[in-house]
Structure 1
Amino acid sequence: MTDKKMQLLIPVENQVRELDPKLLLACIAARQGFSSVIGSRRELEFRIDSYPKSIYLSKSMTRRSLIFFRMARKFGHDIVTWDEEALVHLPPETYFSRRLHPEAIRHVSHLFAWGRDNVELWRQYAHLPEDIPIHNTGNPRNDMLRPEMHPFYEEEVQALRHRYGDFLLVNTNFNHVNAFGSDMNLFQPVKKADELAKFGRAARGMSREYAQGLWDHKHAVFKSFQHLIPKLDRVFPDLNIIIRPHPTERHDVYKDIAARCSRVHVTNEGNVVPWILATRVVLHNGCTTGVESFVMGVPSISYRESVDDIYDNGFYRLPNAVSHQCFNFDQLRDTIHQIFSGSLGVADGDERNALVKSYLSSQDGPLACEKMVDVLAEAVTDRTDNDQLSLWDRLQRRLIADGYHLYKRLKPKLPGSHNRPEFQRHRYPGISIDTINSKIKRLQHILKDTTRLKVEQLNEVLFRMSV
């Protein structure tokens, strides 16, 4: 067991997607003596100067990370990182320019990879520091897909089945063209027809040619899904149809469709895992949920009425490859009938299993979280600290912290800011301490973990877990 005073800082950006697996990580870390602060990424980073020396678990290494990384290192924190977007990822050169920053990665002490593909991807990066270790651990999110973790969601699964009966789960990922804010799309809206559109946030790091092609393709797929959903409502009168938008998508278009249909519902409630376990079939196009469904043994269909091999076989190769692929409505209708009749299951086969194995480590044996915590414990053992600060160092830290706080307060007010309060509430609506305690209790029961944890609510969106 490591020093009980050592602390992990675990930021959560998208609550519905990240909180459960990161709570699992915190529970497992507690067994080795780590305390954790977990909650809203924005709030946790805003308070970075108030924590003792800790290990910050970042989920990206982009240009946007750089200012914070400099700040965190200045206050003595160690930074370890995985990339939330490195499972279903862009082609290497586009991925590197969009998701990695040469200076940001130099502030990182350890990298955690989803699987072998992720390791090989990072090793191609020209600016990868020679001495940075890459650990092929897997990711906390894929821990939650493993059979032994399914009981964590059992009550939610039964509640969803009771509420909706048999349902078809439609997972969308049109955040490149239907983002919560128009500035977050691939391109910003133009005021004149002949005006050249400026890049939005989603296009940063892409060439204009690649971004334009992706924009055109995603728009075509988006339109095909808008036409598809009312057809499904008519053709399958005994099924409810659940539309689950990407966490950073707008819901307006889907709610308008639902208003014209009989059994279409739009929700982003809770983690997607219980929804996948509760449904009979997942419908998507190039969405990570296609991979998650495959791992959990739930049939998925990639609906590909609009095809562009540059993106479908480049960016979205993995989720499309592990799903049944339908290229028109007749194929889709017949495939859904076969799945519900029991004559067709998961799109299985040795080739698909080998493909997923190359992308996702820790599908059996020790959990990814356990492997990660072992790395962190060793890193703490090897660490040498010097807490003696001169008066000048303390003054410098204070000035830097004050400047950073001012920057974080002003940033949400800037045009096109990613930190607008309404968007932050959309991504992290908050959670009660009772719900946090309930989740921890269920996780510890599954883990057969008797560690006694103290959970404190630090504010509306941050919690501390300690032994």
Structure 2
Amino acid sequence: MPDQPHVCLIVDNPLRDLEGLVLLGRELATRGVKVTLVPMYEQGYDVPALQPDLVLLNYTRPNNADLIRRYKRAGILVGVLDTEGIGGNNAEEFAKLVKKAGSPDLLDLYCVWGQAQRAAFLKHGTVPAHILHATGCPRYDFCAGPWRAALSKPSVGTDYVLLNTNFPSVNPRFSKGPGDEVETIVNAGYSRDYANQVIVEARHAYQSTLEMSKKLAEHFPDVRFVLRPHPFENIKSYDALAAYPNFEVRQEGTSIEWINRARLLIHQNCSTAIEATMLNVEPLSMEWFNTPSLRVQAAAQVSRPVASESDLIALVKEGLERRLPSVAEETAQFRRQIISDLFTAVDGASSIRVADVVLDTIANARGKVRSGAVPRPSLRGRAVAMARATLGYKASSALRRRFGSPEIERRRLAKSFAVDMVGAVLGRIDAASVDGRRFSVRRVVGDARRMAGAVSGGSLQLMEAN
């Protein structure tokens, strides 16, 4: 390309997404792309100010429809790499949800994780075929070489038994409580009756998991256990486990780095079970208190099902002694199939595939006259954009903190990321890479007075360290 293209990557949940997007950003940067990592909650300021060639969003839903329209009206290409993916959910339902609740008609690129998603999107006409690509998700590149060597090492050592929980709806970290979570489920396109049922059943599952954790700690006093709550869960609700000297509750780091050093994974309806199979760590699913409303089908199918408390204790003992029997052939076959269906491949190359289609999208759009009028943002969206442009970041942020939702402020703070955090990830990736190149990171503060007032200061740009 004659000019250096600029791509903004939207980071939703740093705990989950940052490492994969840094890997993708580095891949793009090796090809001469200017790459900016943008916190999700700051994109309304930074993306319009930076005017990239393309912005790669974390999803398309009703809550970012106005932003998508604004980007498109500014001449910015819009792509999606849905970092929540559908690791375990039904591909058909996901395709219909995106078509109904998103803004697929405004997109220039959509990257799905696997072949099942791609087939479902094509079947339902969710997005045009020419912008749809099965790429895999870059964060799963760390399950394969050479990037597995770039995983950080948890401070608790190795050979612990890991419990991953998935109860943000009844143990929320950011919202006021289950009532707010019901509204979130409804706003995502589900019925209120379904949402209420999920909350009731999830509350029982959460309590059952907490009690089972205590029993494991008591039954295996010489075994180290680590419980890792979902990033959107309230970690303090697990404080009772601190009474056990062989139990730790940790929420930092990625699920992949914790699974990588574990002996076993215990869970219920957590898609990290699929990550465990990628890393050859055996996942055990607590099925005796599972329900159809809660069940994440793929996570259950790749796991070894456990029918009771006593069965779990017996299987943990066998796993620690490295004498677990082989899984059923049906489970083994499903584990092989799911990689293609939901993740394309676990080959360390998803970031390459995403970078390829991002650059192709930019190249194909250059010099072309864009046809069709882009809808205007809603009245509220226009008012928000005008306020941001008029007041700048500092003043509008002060007003938001003064009059806005404390919940949103907590989310905003939790989803920020610092230079040293990204620099550490880059350092590990550089060390594992075979290309010998080194990259650094800097804050985007603007090189002009207008720009400095418009940007948040939270976005970070990758640069090659010469």
TM-score range, shorter chain: 0.7 to 0.9
1:216 equivalent to 2:200? Answer yes
Query: How far apart, in 2, do the equivalents of 1:143 and 1:208 lie?
Result: 37
Following superposition of structure 1 onto structure 2, how do residues 258-273 of structure 1 map, counting pairs within 5 Å?
A: 258-273=241-256
Q: 1:300–1:346: 8 Å Cα contact kept in structure 2?
A: no
Q: 2:99–2:127: 8 Å Cα contact kept in structure 1?
A: no
| 1:156 equivalent in structure 2 | 153
Q: 1:92–1:121: 8 Å Cα contact kept in structure 2?
A: yes
How far apart are residue 103 of structure 1 and its match?
5.9
Q: 2:55–2:78: 8 Å Cα contact kept in structure 1?
A: yes
How far apart are residue 13 of structure 1 and its match?
1.8
> In the TM superposition, what whole-angstrom CA distance separates every residue of 1:94-115 from its partner, at most 9, and x where no partner exists?
6467555566222211111110
| 2:141 equivalent in structure 1 | 143
Larger CA deviation: 144-153 vs 454-463: 454-463
How far apart are residue 246 of structure 1 and its match?
0.7
> Could you say if the C-alpha distance between residues 92 and 422 of structure 1 is closer, same or farther in structure 2, counting changes exceeding 3 Å?
same
| 2:423 equivalent in structure 1 | 437
> Could you say if the C-alpha distance between residues 212 and 56 of structure 1 is closer, same or farther in structure 2, counting changes exceeding 3 Å?
same
> Could you say if the C-alpha distance between residues 129 and 102 of structure 1 is closer, same or farther in structure 2, counting changes exceeding 3 Å?
farther
Q: 1:243–1:265: 8 Å Cα contact kept in structure 2?
A: yes
How far apart are residue 452 of structure 1 and its match?
5.3
> In the TM superposition, what whole-angstrom CA distance separates every residue of 1:148-173 from its partner, at most 9, and x where no partner exists?
321102x515x431xxx542211111
> In the TM superposition, what whole-angstrom CA distance separates every residue of 1:404-461 from its partner, at most 9, and x where no partner exists?
457974666667576x222222233x3333x433422331332312445453222663
> Could you say if the C-alpha distance between residues 432 and 466 of structure 1 is closer, same or farther in structure 2, counting changes exceeding 3 Å?
closer
| 2:375 equivalent in structure 1 | none
Query: How far apart, in 1, do the equivalents of 2:196 and 2:342 lie?
Result: 28
Q: 1:170–1:242: 8 Å Cα contact kept in structure 2?
A: yes
Following superposition of structure 1 onto structure 2, how do residues 166-181 of structure 1 map, counting pairs within 5 Å?
A: 166-181=159-174
1:363 equivalent to 2:343? Answer no
| 2:262 equivalent in structure 1 | 279
Query: How far apart, in 2, do the equivalents of 1:95 and 1:86 lie?
Result: 9
Q: 2:419–2:442: 8 Å Cα contact kept in structure 1?
A: no
How far apart are residue 290 of structure 1 and its match?
0.5
Query: How far apart, in 2, do the equivalents of 1:461 and 1:103 lie?
Result: 26
Q: Which amino acid aligns with 1:446?
A: A
Q: 1:302–1:324: 8 Å Cα contact kept in structure 2?
A: yes
> Could you say if the C-alpha distance between residues 211 and 94 of structure 1 is closer, same or farther in structure 2, counting changes exceeding 3 Å?
farther
> Could you say if the C-alpha distance between residues 248 and 339 of structure 1 is closer, same or farther in structure 2, counting changes exceeding 3 Å?
same
Secondary structure in 2 matching 1:37: strand
> In the TM superposition, what whole-angstrom CA distance separates every residue of 1:190-216 from its partner, at most 9, and x where no partner exists?
xxxxxxxx9422332111232222222
Secondary structure in 2 matching 1:177: coil
| 2:409 equivalent in structure 1 | 421
Q: Which amino acid aligns with 2:112?
A: A
Aligned pair partner of 1:234 in 200, 212, 218 = 218
| 1:392 equivalent in structure 2 | none
Q: 2:443–2:460: 8 Å Cα contact kept in structure 1?
A: yes
Larger CA deviation: 344-353 vs 6-15: 344-353
How far apart are residue 55 of structure 1 and its match?
1.1
| 1:191 equivalent in structure 2 | none
> In the TM superposition, what whole-angstrom CA distance separates every residue of 1:358-411 from its partner, at most 9, and x where no partner exists?
2111323x7011111111222222223589xxxxxxxxxx99843345797466
Q: 1:13–1:41: 8 Å Cα contact kept in structure 2?
A: yes
Larger CA deviation: 408-417 vs 452-461: 408-417
Q: Which amino acid aligns with 2:234?
A: R
Secondary structure in 1 matching 2:281: coil
Following superposition of structure 1 onto structure 2, how do residues 36-435 of structure 1 map, counting pairs within 5 Å?
A: 36-88=35-87, 90-91=89-90, 95=94, 99-101=98-100, 104-125=103-124, 128-130=126-128, 132-153=130-151, 156-157=153-154, 159-161=155-157, 166-183=159-176, 185=178, 187-188=179-180, 199-204=182-187, 205-255=189-239, 257-312=240-295, 316-344=296-324, 347=327, 349-364=332-347, 367-385=349-367, 401-404=385-388, 409=397, 420-428=408-416, 430-433=417-420, 435=421
Q: 1:6–1:34: 8 Å Cα contact kept in structure 2?
A: yes
Query: How far apart, in 2, do the equivalents of 1:213 and 1:160 lie?
Result: 37
Larger CA deviation: 286-295 vs 67-76: 67-76
TM-score by length of 2: 0.84
Compute the RMSD of aligned alpha carbons.
Answer: 2.9
Query: How far apart, in 2, do the equivalents of 1:268 and 1:48 lie?
Result: 30
How far apart are residue 136 of structure 1 and its match?
1.0
Matched positions, count:
433
> Could you say if the C-alpha distance between residues 44 and 122 of structure 1 is closer, same or farther in structure 2, counting changes exceeding 3 Å?
same
Query: How far apart, in 2, do the equivalents of 1:451 and 1:94 lie?
Result: 42
Query: How far apart, in 2, do the equivalents of 1:244 and 1:307 lie?
Result: 19
How far apart are residue 14 of structure 1 and its match?
1.1
How far apart are residue 263 of structure 1 and its match?
2.4
Q: 1:4–1:33: 8 Å Cα contact kept in structure 2?
A: no
Query: How far apart, in 2, do the equivalents of 1:54 and 1:402 lie?
Result: 22
Query: How far apart, in 2, do the equivalents of 1:117 and 1:92 lie?
Result: 6
How far apart are residue 271 of structure 1 and its match?
1.5
Q: Any unmatched runs of 5+ in structure 1?
A: 189-197, 388-397
Q: Any unmatched runs of 5+ in structure 2?
A: 370-381, 446-456
Larger CA deviation: 206-215 vs 20-29: 206-215
Query: How far apart, in 2, do the equivalents of 1:346 and 1:30 lie?
Result: 44
| 2:379 equivalent in structure 1 | none
| 2:444 equivalent in structure 1 | 458
> Could you say if the C-alpha distance between residues 38 and 415 of structure 1 is closer, same or farther in structure 2, counting changes exceeding 3 Å?
closer
> In the TM superposition, what whole-angstrom CA distance separates every residue of 1:321-371 from its partner, at most 9, and x where no partner exists?
11111121101001111111011278562232123332111323x701111
> Could you say if the C-alpha distance between residues 5 and 184 of structure 1 is closer, same or farther in structure 2, counting changes exceeding 3 Å?
farther
Q: 2:226–2:247: 8 Å Cα contact kept in structure 1?
A: yes
Q: Which amino acid aligns with 1:277?
A: N
